[in-house]
Amino acid sequence: MSSDTTAELPVIRLRPKSKPLAIRHGFPWVYADEVVLDRRSRSITPGSFAVLEDAERRPLALVTVNPDSKITGRVMDADPNARIDPDWLTTCLSRALALRERLFDRPFYRLVHAEADGLPGVIIDRFGDHAVIQPNAAWADRMAGDLAAALVAVTGVSTVILNGQGRARSLEGLDERMEVLIGATPDAPIPVPMNGAIYLADLMGGQKTGLFFDQRPNHAFAQRLHGGGRVLDVFSHVGGFGLAALASGAAGAVCVDGSAAALDLARGGAQAMGMAERLEARQSDAFKALEGMATDGERFDLVICDPPAFAPSKQALEAGLRAYERVARLSAPLVAPGGYLVLCSCSHAADLTAFRNASARGIGRGGRRAQLIQTGQAGPDHPVLPQLAETGYLKALFFRLDG
């Protein structure tokens, strides 16, 4: 489906006290309390398109509307006369592809990072000849077929999978679904080369789209820190930091995760690299594993903790920061004298300062002193929209610990 002509589109209007300058300057969201939500606007079908006007009835942008969401409007195009059709999608995808092809030699990357790539609520990860779409906004869910067709036309991929799962969809009032839109269901995990390692991505059954591309530059920096020693990768998923360490000469890596399926993929990646004997996978609750290793006196030259989002919302912020502090407190004693500790957060609600402070408190409570030597973020295939802090969610802190 595509949008109607502007003359046929409904209109939503900002409240008199709302400031239109933010929209004019690139902020992409309109919250429910900023617009007039009368019976007419509330009856707009979620995922439809509308013209956003200021309180003086001057057009501001073309938006997609979801009256059921806290984010009532998402800016699709600064031109109120734009038409959201296959040509528009092709233009957006071509622009996104041009950036990734400049950055990467092989087609394994995040192709579309939602608002930052001009496709609100849309995540697309590419795995060679396969692509996975996460349509986390109602308009994208309705136009999933058009998105898939444009994706094939622009990139030449043969398989497009829709992964309609996760918290973001529930906030939009969307049901969970998983289906192959174009091509055939993959009969095996997809091998993904990154930083000299080989990862196995389960595109149909894994977390999110099957693999996290965002940590790629942080994996690379961590490869410089282990010094050929022993590495601990906690909340490892499919072996992100652990396999990167093995690929760069670490003597061994211990991967800890609660998912048996994820650890099986980590073992498969190590085997594909010819390093199966150097990887130890432990299925366990991370906090219990950290406590148990401390009791056993285990030490590692490099420890990485990359947990899920402990603070996915402002309401969860305080509890989330306490959890990050606890991770730091329990992991710091496991680092050998002069070794390194990497602490990560993918929580939107916890900004860099709050996360850094929680981590520093935890390290101190763990009886260690530290130097912060590097602060990392997601790779350039996860661009940040400067007006929207949520697009810059990932934080990675690299500490050197004293004796």
What is the set of active-site residues? 346
Query: Quick one: tokens of 93?
Result: 């995808």
Q: Which residues contact 139 (CB under 8 A, 6 or more apart)?
A: 47, 48, 49, 64, 66, 74, 76, 84, 120, 121
Cβ neighbours around 315 below 10 Å, total = 10
What angle do helix axes 352-365 and 317-331 make, rounded to 10 degrees?
Answer: 40
Q: Phi and psi of 89, rounded to 5°?
A: -60, -40
How many CB atoms lie under 10 A from the CB of residue 312?
Answer: 18
pTM equals: 0.94
- What is the fold of 193-401? Rossmann fold (3.40.50)
At 2 the pLDDT is: 46
What's the CATH number for 86-182? 3.30.750.80
Query: What does each C-alpha distance from 98 to 39, 44, 92, 355, 378 come to in angstroms?
Result: 43, 35, 10, 34, 19
- Per-residue pLDDT of the chain (403 residues), as tens digits, is 444 445 589 999 999 988 888 999 999 999 999 999 889 999 999 999 999 999 999 999 999 999 999 999 999 999 999 999 999 999 999 999 999 999 999 999 999 999 999 999 999 999 999 999 999 999 999 999 999 999 999 999 999 999 998 888 988 999 999 999 999 999 999 999 999 999 999 999 878 889 999 999 999 999 999 999 999 999 999 999 999 999 999 999 999 999 999 999 999 999 999 999 999 999 999 999 999 999 999 999 999 999 999 999 999 999 999 999 999 999 999 999 999 999 999 999 999 999 999 999 999 999 999 999 999 999 999 999 999 999 999 999 999 998 6
Q: Would you list the domain boundaries of the chain? A: 6-77, 86-182, 193-401
Domain spanning 6-77, CATH class? mainly beta
Neighbours of 219 (CB within 10 A): 28
pLDDT digits (tens, 9 = 90+) for 108-151: 999 999 999 999 999 999 999 999 999 999 999 999 999 999 99
Among 231, 268, 225, 263, residue whose Cα is nearest residue 246: 231
What pLDDT is attached to residue 11?
Answer: 95
Distance CA(236)–CA(267), nearest Å, equals 12
The β-bridge relationship of strands 279-283 and 252-257 is parallel
pLDDT tens column, 157-184: 999 999 998 888 988 999 999 999 999 9
Q: Degrees (nearest 5) of the Cα angle 124, 132, 204?
A: 150
Whole-number Å distance between alpha carbons of 39 and 61: 22
C-alpha distances (whole Å) from 357 to each of 16, 157, 288, 350, 351 are 40, 44, 24, 11, 10
Give pLDDT, residue 291: 98
pLDDT at 1: 41
